[in-house]
Structure 1
Amino acid sequence: MTVVESRLTATERSFHVEAYEKIEYTLDYVDGVFDPANPQLADAFSAWGRCLAVVDRNVLAMRGEELRAYFEHHGIDLRVQEVRIAEVHKSLRTVEQLVDAFADFGLIRKEPVLVVGGGLTTDVAGFACAAYKRSTDYVRIPTTLIGLIDASVSIKVGANHGHLKNRLGAYHASKQVLLDFSFLGTLPTDQLRNGIAEIIKIATVGDADLFGRLEKYAEELLEHSFGFGPEGGHVREAGGAITYDAIKRMLELEVPNLHELDLDRVIAFGHTWSPTLELAPERPLFHGHAIAVDMAYSATLAARCGYITEADRDRVHSLFTRLGLSVDSPYLTPELIEQATASILQTRDGRLRAALPRPIGTCHFDSDLHVSDLVDALADHRALCSGLERGGVGLDAFTPAEVEAPVQRTS
């Protein structure tokens, strides 16, 4: 960010400052980001002659040789900081460890850091960049579906604190995002499922046509890694169009409100009660499952309020269920609803602003729902979910147990 306009007004009794900062970043599609023939990544670091890369451990195990060969081919010295950031490691301590790595590297103030990994990695490393010397540039290569279509779009970065999700954070845009969807070919099914939830989010309240295409293709996209699996070529075009339209719609909604000055945010659908729900179990829920529960419950609320039909409510529940995403959780209790509502009111200036479909493809913000209404709706929701496959419980809903330190070593 650079200040592009400022004004000082001085009187005998006061000084008043106005300043406006320019935000500029680019999301570029790259087919094979570590292919030496593609110059986009090298162009970001060639002027410096070196690169500090914060790389997710799993990505490094599968693609580390390609990454190192790429930088060697382009004559750029590479140092790799290996990380494994689970939800339990999305903490200030991990941010401090990354800042220490920046200092050990001797990072120059405006020298960019390369961040390669999923949404958790880019969130925490982006926050470390925001904090280091007050603003350090970075380039993102998201490697998960949720990173490609959601985390890559926003300029928010952050960390959890005090068992509260994203309680610490900043608005700090990366200079560039390189979108390489071939990473999906080696992504585990639980991570694909995690990301599809975010596409359903934007479709349900922002794009009815996209919702219809998800109903048609989502199961095949999950099975065939959005066309990047061994036998998935037949759905690659549909997968590409769906992910492109999801990114485009999210950007259309986010760009006019990058700093969230307007708190009525369509993109916050599924994020009213899920921040508290996600961290409620000892092993946190996957983000996609937590927001899926929130969205399914919100669809039940919307039907109770007359915003959508019961048939459309059931379409939302069915889509999540078919994909193995959660629509209910034993952790979603009246007590949690009350706690989560109180927490989100603090974030939203004292108003609930619950994003609800009205109808599918459009969004309504409801601040008139009281906790008693929400608890009554939960009873209805639980009764509905009891008749669904698995009783509304998702597949592989909990994040893996993590015992290793998040920041391992530099190589």
Structure 2
Amino acid sequence: MQFVIRVEVPQQSYEIAIAHRDSQTSLTASGLDDLGVWMSRLKLGKKVLLVSNPAIFRRYGERAIAALKLVGYDVSSRTLPAGERYKTLKSLQKIYDAALQNRLERSSTMVALGGGVIGDMTGFAAATWLRGINFVQVPTSLLAMVDASIGGKTGVNHPQGKNLIGAFHQPRFVLIDPSVLKTLPAREFRAGMAEVIKYGIIWDAQLFAKLEESRRLDQMRYLDEKLLSLILSASCQSKADVVSQDEKEAGLRAILNYGHTIGHAVESLTGYKLVNHGEAVAIGMVAAGQIAVKLQMWSSEEAQRQDALIEKTGLPTQLPSGLDIEAIIDALQTDKKVKDGKVRFVLPTQIGEVTVTDQVPADVIRQVLQQMQS
């Protein structure tokens, strides 16, 4: 399995490689083992700081370091705790400390080996260390592969809201090795599928239809290689298409936030502990779909198709019990997508197309959220 997708952006164009060696020719090697070979083509400096979390580092850290050393890189590493609640300035300081200790230079590279949290933090550290150094993404979760590792959005959370502190800093390269998904917990796989469904709604009706045809989507083991290849390539291509047209969210790129407006509020209000990002996005997509139906922008039949696919993936379609609706509405005001004091929603008009609007009455949001209480 190998696809190369190019992201054409003004800041710095780059490639996404979906690479997995054929197991018939090599029992142990994979795309991850070629990390150094891929990076050597970019003419980067010799110093590399690899950032990961302890669980991922135990599984894949030594292989990644060996792949880098094989082609002559001087590699150091730093692990950070896993989880959205650790995506903070305090964790970021540990990356800066490692960069200083290992004397990273402007030609040096930070490599993020992990999920979206590690990618976001490492990217922001790279964006701000010495006013910007090289950055390579090696995502190990489905969510990071299809979404977080692509597009150059980096950052950390503020106690009052998600990703409020950040920068646009495009990676030099993204390496996706599908074989690492074999060790991904089922819940994390489902979280990634939320973003895949999102692409079907906002951009790729054919992808949505293919997902509908699948009997089960709640666990990785129910996907054959052909469907997994489609999920990865179509999702990455969708993200690349959108980002290439709008690098810094001046217009079109806002559609990538489908499900994220209410989703981010749910994540924040539950302390990033009760629901993960994909689960929150699923809840947000159900809410956005129902808002669109109430505003007569979307048919109830297509909304039901979306919700049925979300349920088939094993993702939630209702709010966590006990979550205060007025607190959600208040939290929307601190969202990054607020413009001129108005909350902007991405709402579907048909499967494969969405629109962005700030004309959503608070009472409509309230009604939808009340219907979604568990």
Would you call these one fold, judging by a TM-score over 0.5?
yes
Alignment counterpart, residue 265 of structure 1, candidates 249, 254, 269: 254
Change (3 A) 1:88 1:365: same
Partner of 2:318: 328
Change (3 A) 1:187 1:109: same
**CA distance in 1: counterparts of 2:134 and 2:67, whole angstroms:** 21
**CA distance in 2: counterparts of 1:318 and 1:269, whole angstroms:** 17
Partner of 1:305: 295
**CA distance in 1: counterparts of 2:123 and 2:222, whole angstroms:** 27
Alignment counterpart, residue 194 of structure 1, candidates 191, 195, 198: 191
Partner of 1:378: 369
Question: How big is the shift at 1:116?
Answer: 0.9
SS in 1 for 2:33: coil
**CA distance in 2: counterparts of 1:162 and 1:221, whole angstroms:** 32
Partner of 2:32: 34
Retained in 2: the 8 A contact 1:53–1:78? yes
Matched, 1:352 2:343: yes
Retained in 1: the 8 A contact 2:110–2:136? yes
Matches within 5 A, 1:135-154: 135-154=132-151
Question: Could you tell me the TM-score, scaled by structure 1's length?
Answer: 0.80
Retained in 1: the 8 A contact 2:201–2:351? yes
Partner of 1:289: 279
Question: How big is the shift at 1:331?
Answer: 5.3
Question: How big is the shift at 1:33?
Answer: 2.8
SS in 2 for 1:261: coil
Opposite residue 306 of structure 1, the aligned amino acid is Q
RMSD: 2.4
Retained in 2: the 8 A contact 1:264–1:365? no
Question: How big is the shift at 1:218?
Answer: 6.9
Matches within 5 A, 1:215-234: 215-217=212-214, 219-220=216-217, 222-224=219-221, 226=223
SS in 2 for 1:347: coil
Change (3 A) 1:156 1:71: closer
In structure 1, runs of 5+ residues without a counterpart are 1-19, 227-234, 383-390, 392-411
Opposite residue 237 of structure 1, the aligned amino acid is K
Opposite residue 380 of structure 1, the aligned amino acid is Q
Change (3 A) 1:287 1:323: same
Alignment counterpart, residue 227 of structure 2, candidates 222, 238, 241: 238
Opposite residue 276 of structure 1, the aligned amino acid is A
Change (3 A) 1:322 1:116: same
In structure 2, runs of 5+ residues without a counterpart are 1-8, 21-29
Larger radius of gyration: 1
Change (3 A) 1:79 1:219: same
Number of residues of Structure 1 aligned to a counterpart in Structure 2: 355
**CA distance in 2: counterparts of 1:71 and 1:205, whole angstroms:** 37
Instruction: Report % sequence identity.
Output: 25
Partner of 1:363: 354
**CA distance in 2: counterparts of 1:173 and 1:218, whole angstroms:** 37
**CA distance in 2: counterparts of 1:156 and 1:264, whole angstroms:** 11
**After TM superposition, what 4+ stretches of structure 1 lie above 6 angstroms from structure 2?**
none
Alignment counterpart, residue 76 of structure 1, candidates 73, 78, 102: 73
Question: Could you tell me the TM-score, scaled by structure 2's length?
Answer: 0.87
